[in-house]
Amino acid sequence: MRIPFYLLAALLLGSSCSRPDDEPQPTPTPPPPVSDPAALIVVQTRHTTQHPFTHRLTAYTPQGSVLWQRNDLYNATGHRYIYRNGIFFLGETNWDQASSTAAFRVRALRATDGSPLWTLNNVQAQYAGLAASDSILYLAVIQGNATSLRAYHAQSGALRWQLPQPRSIAHLRFDNGTLYYVSFQPLNAGATVVAFDPVARQERWSAPLGSAVTNFVSGIRLSADAVYLTNAAGAVRAYDRATGALRWTGSAAFNDPHAMGNTVLVRGSQGAVAGLDPATGATRWTWQQSGGTPASTFSLADGTVTFSEYVSQTQHYLTRLDAGTGTLRWRYPVPDAYMEVVANGDRAYALRTFISGSSAPPFGKIVFYDLANGRASDSVLINDQEIAQLSVVTASGAVLGSGGW
């Protein structure tokens, strides 16, 4: 059972700024530095045949061998962890169905062996409310009836500062010295996208999202000079990254923007994939096959976009397009509809979750495909598990897939 944290937030009482690091603080002894691991494939899974669900986090080598595994995740952890600078950060929820109560914690795990660096107990991290720089973990935290934005030392878990917030916070994203997030009051109008300076602890700018219902807003995507997201009305909006000025609002026919080079890639409501002009939002190209609908996340690599297509229960494709022109590189039939595809180097990793109601066991699977020709090479089979999230950590420490948010 997943807890909708953002629905629990309420108006903050007061507006004072608490800065615990402005007062004398005991200096924690940090653990040894954590170096970036070699390339990893990391998946979060859960049992689907029991309740409360059992979650685990597993790291594989690029060849598919298990490097480490943690089986002690809380039972309603959900589909979110993030990775930064050799550390995995998890916001976990333990749900007691009998008493309808929940316990919360945030943990930092070493990417090299999965061992814990530190744990924050009784910290309720708001849904989609984790982001990290190389040295700081940022959390949107609910405590009682109040929401706060907090900063913790990434290596030690020591609290650096906290700021009360008048509204809920979601979709945190850190990049190049700025923390971006959506600020909203559930079910009320007036949601905004915010660029926040974590050093000065003040907003750089905020801009309206242009929709009344905010709990279906997409995650924030960034390019070198723009901020992209989809509001609840289904329209892509582009903001100037330096000033927050609205550049354009796209058609409701397209959503889920991804910036790559001089193109913004979006998916359409009728199965189309399109490339938009990042300056104007005008459609440059559209690609669509009869009956096909993108079923997975987009994976951007080497000027291309790779994704899974769903046509019917027995007809699926893995497809790769040129991101600049929409030209088809290849499209091959595959046995499953994949919920996430991650391209890295000469290989694509395709994640197949369990098939509900199928006579076959609900096995999760990762299939490796050759990006040159779209042919399958080998696979990892995870028995009795639903794969909830897939990431690829490269040897340089870059994160591809949903764990890089």
Cβ within 8 Å of residue 265, ≥6 positions away: 257, 258, 259, 273, 274, 275, 276, 298, 300, 305, 323
pLDDT of residue 211: 61
Average pLDDT of the residues in 272-290: 90
- Asked whether the predicted pLDDT for residue 389 surpasses 50, the reply is yes
Lowest mean pLDDT among 18-22, 169-173, 364-368: 18-22
With contact defined as beta carbons under 8 Å apart, do 347 and 368 qualify?
A: yes
- pTM (predicted TM-score): 0.83
pLDDT of residue 156: 95
- Asked whether the predicted pLDDT for residue 10 surpasses 60, the reply is no
Cβ within 8 Å of residue 393, ≥6 positions away: 36, 37, 39, 40, 42, 83, 111, 399, 400, 403
pLDDT of residue 183: 87
**pLDDT tens column, 154-195:** 999 999 999 998 888 888 999 999 999 988 876 566 788 999
Residues, the chain, total?
405
| φ and ψ at residue 390, rounded to 5 degrees | -130, 135
Greatest CA separation found in the chain? Answer: 65
- Asked whether the predicted pLDDT for residue 32 surpasses 60, the reply is no
pLDDT of residue 58: 85
- Asked whether the predicted pLDDT for residue 333 surpasses 70, the reply is yes
- Asked whether the predicted pLDDT for residue 4 surpasses 70, the reply is no
| φ and ψ at residue 401, rounded to 5 degrees | 105, -170
Query: Does the CA dihedral 275-278-279-281 come out positive or negative?
Result: positive
Residue labelled with tokens 């809920």: 168
Burial of 397 (0-12, 13-18, 19+ CB in 10 A): middle
**pLDDT tens column, 93-151:** 777 777 777 778 889 999 889 999 999 988 876 656 889 999 999 998 877 667 899 99
- Asked whether the predicted pLDDT for residue 351 surpasses 70, the reply is yes
With contact defined as beta carbons under 8 Å apart, do 31 and 117 qualify?
A: yes
Q: Higher-confidence residue: 224 or 170?
A: 224
Q: Higher-confidence residue: 186 or 221?
A: 221
Count other Cβ atoms within 10 Å, centred on residue 319: 23
pLDDT of residue 15: 33
pLDDT band at 385; cut points 50, 70, 90:
low
pLDDT of residue 28: 43
- Asked whether the predicted pLDDT for residue 268 surpasses 90, the reply is no
- Asked whether the predicted pLDDT for residue 363 surpasses 80, the reply is no
Closest to 316 (Cα-Cα) out of 348, 342, 338: 338
Closest to 211 (Cα-Cα) out of 244, 194, 188: 188
Average pLDDT of the residues in 320-342: 87
Top mean-pLDDT range of 100-114, 151-165, 225-239, 389-403: 151-165
pLDDT of residue 240: 97
Average pLDDT of the residues in 54-78: 78
Q: Higher-confidence residue: 33 or 332?
A: 332
pLDDT of residue 77: 54
pLDDT of residue 162: 94
Say how many CA atoms lie within 13 Å of 175 toward its Cβ: 17
Query: Does the CA dihedral 247-252-255-259 come out positive or negative?
Result: negative
Closest to 20 (Cα-Cα) out of 150, 134, 204, 197: 150
**pLDDT tens column, 287-309:** 987 777 787 778 888 889 998 88
Instruction: Say how far apart CA 187 and CA 7 lie, in whole Å.
Output: 9
pLDDT of residue 154: 96
Average pLDDT of the residues in 320-326: 93
Question: Strands across the sheet with 178-184, in order?
Answer: 168-175, 178-184, 192-197, 202-208
- Asked whether the predicted pLDDT for residue 366 surpasses 70, the reply is yes
Instruction: Say how far apart CA 249 and CA 174 lie, in whole Å.
Output: 23
